[in-house]
Structure 1
Amino acid sequence: MSGLMAWFWSEDVWLPPGYTWHYLTHSTHFNFPVFADAWTYPFAIAAIFIFLRYLVLNPLVFAPLARMLGVKDARPRSPAHHEALEIVFRWYRTRPSPEALTEASTAMGWSQRQVERWLRQRAAVSKTTSLTKFCNLAWEATYYISYTILGVVVLWDTEWLWNIDHCFYGFPEQSLDEWVWIYYMVSLGFYWSMTITHFFQHRRKDSMQLFVHHLVTILLISFSWVVNFVRMGTLVLVVHECGDIPMLLAKICKLCGSQRGMDGFFVVFLILWLCTRVGLYPFWIMRTTLFRAHVILKMWYPIYYILNGLMLGLLVIHIMWTYLILRIVVRMLLFKEVSDVRSSSEGWDEEDDDDTKKET
């Protein structure tokens, strides 16, 4: 194991030429990030977030607020339990293969239409209620608003916010600020809390994608922490975390029946998304990491390519999401319909609703 760890954390890969882990972590003239911090404090913060979300805010704040705004907590009656059909539901939900449908109908002595109706009723029971959706959206909105404010406070007086080249001046011998430490630990704690609670939430069509997204985000934040890429990391975080706020608020307005509020927040979301994810991220951050960093540092080493490759992958996802969001804009203009197609969407819920409409 020690040999494997030594190979993985090779200084030739992670550090600029001429630097060693011992020198960076034991230097007294600057504060280098402590590796263990990224794997200790975030778990304590995650526990606080989980406690605050499920035992304080959800029952005492979000749920009463939702009921006051007219959000319902209705759930349809559950169909009679049949283990054979439960197995089919776990594998296929409302869209079983023809073979599975035939086998289930034969085993139950039912028609295929009866099996399909049972699966739709079972899916309706499994759907997240409007009240639960409201609480989830309210929690995420609360976090992202708070974290965005924290980011502005932390970065406002930093030199690299106003001159991005300072992300690389003197690298890697850059002292870690106490508030930047807090900014990083809070972000890691939040994504760990979302990863842990992922297993206790209702299953969604995009559950696996969300889980992978959380893990990749944790790895990106952790790796940038290990190599003291935190200055650029803070800029990436502040550009990304603010973009979801208006979309979350738009979906809350939708649950509350406020069409005007939903449309207004969606317009704000579209503008903010284009400015941050399609504007600032590629033309301010990515341009610097790709075309300026190696000029300032006067060196090339493997982690430079690894981090840039991961950031380029993130940019590709942004482009794909932008295409889907623009499709939403067209659909909203033509049909007055708004839905979120990104990772926060309740994808399989919408499919089950479509099935129900076809049934009726």
Structure 2
Amino acid sequence: MGCFFKLRQMEALLDQWLWRQEYWLPPGITWKDIKTSGDSRYPLPRDLLITLPLALGFIALRYIFERVVAVPFSRQLGVRDRIQVRAAPVPKLEAFYTQNSRQPSQSEIVILAQQCDFTQRQIETWFRCRRNQDRPCNTKKFCEACWRFVFYIVAFSAGLTSLIDKPWFWDPKECWNGYPYQAIAEAQYWYYVMELGFYWSLLLCVSVDVKRKDFKEQIIHHIATIFLIGLSYCGNYVRVGTLVMLVHDSSDFLMESAKMFNYAGWRKTCDTLFVAFAVVFLVTRLVVFPFKVIHSTLFLCLDVFDPFFGYYLFNALLLLLQALHIFWAWLIIRMIYKFVFMGKVERDERSDEESEVEEEDEEQEEEDDDKEESSWEQGKGALNSKFTTLADNCVLKNLTKQRNNTSSRFPKAR
């Protein structure tokens, strides 16, 4: 009884400060005007409370899925983890590594060498080896990509099935026909809450997932997406909101599938999927999203209501999302340009590692291996390096994401 009373208090507090009707509804419209009646369901803020337990359920389901399905599947596809040499246990160096810096400066290396009675070369080698231990293995990255692929393909299929026969799927003007008195179907309601619950789970797991160079951009993306889904539901922007989610899901599952085959070493399959992903991403994020969806929310809706707080906030978040699309699209286009017109691709600009120093470590190890290889193998490795970088580019790593550690199978040419 006490728990129920606290929930009612929390709901009343949210209604008073966060869900004020003048924030999220056009002038002259109240929450009482938008309510569930008969067989029709209308969006209400309290409906979103279910997304938090859903997020916890997604996390638990992911834990089971990765161990029961993803790991055995990765072995079937041939995913192999690189064998890492563990750093020798040196308490002083370990304390410096965990408490100060993963990459000591030259002056710090000198001091550590004196304290541990090591040479500077031994100190540098120890820190490189220690950083390698913290690198995510291919199996971990494959499991993350596999989990996201399954969700995105299911979400895209469900969303397309529920929207393809709706008039606003073909004509954005229909998104505002009868607004805000627009009932939502049960399928669209679950499409909304499942997407929101999933992005909550991604945000909650961001500290344990593989970290990448665009870590901050990913955090911004998740937060903006959560706000967009939640606020669009509260303001009954459900029709245009379903279009936004469908546009994003259409390319995300291609990206995750390409990463899966990348970690498994299936080069041609990965390249084909990446090309498909790049085409779909550029078309949906740079053409459909701004010229159809954002144009509708910025201009077409003004024929139905006057601007209010929710209008400005919703469009600001959409424009923020579009800025991230342009950032990622620029990285894709630049990488493709270098590959097609310059005949080479620089190292992935959005890798799984937390710093560029670790990339240099891997390059050094590969250069050491090159000393024992023939010139024919070096040329072969150079060719494979181009396709590997193309497949494992900044956006291919998750938009998410991840650099191909299997390159050790074919050492790069000097």
TM-score range, shorter chain: 0.7 to 0.9
The residue type equivalent to 1:354 in the other structure is E
- Do residues 299 (structure 1) and 306 (structure 2) align? yes
Question: 1:49: Cα distance to partner?
Answer: 2.4
Change (3 A) 1:10 1:60: closer
- Do residues 15 (structure 1) and 25 (structure 2) align? yes
Cα distance in 2 between the residues matched to 1:310 and 1:299: 19
Number of residues paired by the alignment? 355
Greater relative contact order: 1 or 2 (C-alpha under 8 angstroms, separation 6 or more)?
Answer: 1
Query: Secondary structure at the residue paired with 2:272?
Result: helix
Asked if 1 retains the 8 angstrom alpha-carbon contact of 2:80 and 2:264, the reply is no
Cα distance in 1 between the residues matched to 2:349 and 2:16: 42
Change (3 A) 1:102 1:166: farther
Change (3 A) 1:60 1:6: closer
- Do residues 215 (structure 1) and 223 (structure 2) align? yes
1:141 to 136, 149, 157: 149
Identity of aligned residues (%): 33
What is the aligned partner in structure 2 of residue 46 from structure 1? Answer: 55
Question: 1:237: Cα distance to partner?
Answer: 0.4
Structure 2 stretches lacking a partner, 5+ long: 1-9, 369-414
Query: Secondary structure at the residue paired with 1:199?
Result: coil
Cα distance in 2 between the residues matched to 1:331 and 1:213: 27
Change (3 A) 1:39 1:112: farther
What is the aligned partner in structure 2 of residue 238 from structure 1? Answer: 246
Q: Which deviates the most, 73-82 or 309-318?
A: 73-82
What is the aligned partner in structure 2 of residue 317 from structure 1? Answer: 324
Question: 1:340: Cα distance to partner?
Answer: 6.4
Report the structure, 1 or 2, having the larger helix content. Answer: 1
Mapping 1:13-162, distance limit 5 Å: 13-25=23-35, 31-40=41-50, 42-55=51-64, 57-90=65-98, 94-98=102-106, 100-162=108-170
Cα distance in 2 between the residues matched to 1:209 and 1:236: 19
Please identify the structure whose Cα radius of gyration is greater. 2
- Do residues 356 (structure 1) and 362 (structure 2) align? yes
Q: Which deviates the most, 71-80 or 126-135?
A: 71-80
What is the aligned partner in structure 2 of residue 262 from structure 1? Answer: 270
Asked if 2 retains the 8 angstrom alpha-carbon contact of 1:160 and 1:166, the reply is yes
Q: Which deviates the most, 271-280 or 248-257?
A: 248-257
Asked if 2 retains the 8 angstrom alpha-carbon contact of 1:85 and 1:104, the reply is yes
The residue type equivalent to 1:173 in the other structure is Y
Asked if 1 retains the 8 angstrom alpha-carbon contact of 2:221 and 2:324, the reply is no
Query: Secondary structure at the residue paired with 1:176?
Result: coil
Asked if 1 retains the 8 angstrom alpha-carbon contact of 2:224 and 2:321, the reply is no
TM-score, length basis structure 2 = 0.77
Cα distance in 1 between the residues matched to 2:276 and 2:172: 26
> Deviation string for 1:70-90 (max 9, x for gaps)?
211344132133454345434
Cα distance in 2 between the residues matched to 1:21 and 1:312: 27
TM-score, length basis structure 1 = 0.87
> Deviation string for 1:228-247 (max 9, x for gaps)?
11111100000011212222
Q: Which deviates the most, 203-212 or 165-174?
A: 203-212
Structure 1 stretches lacking a partner, 5+ long: none
Cα distance in 2 between the residues matched to 1:29 and 1:60: 40
Question: 1:168: Cα distance to partner?
Answer: 1.1
Cα distance in 2 between the residues matched to 1:231 and 1:116: 57
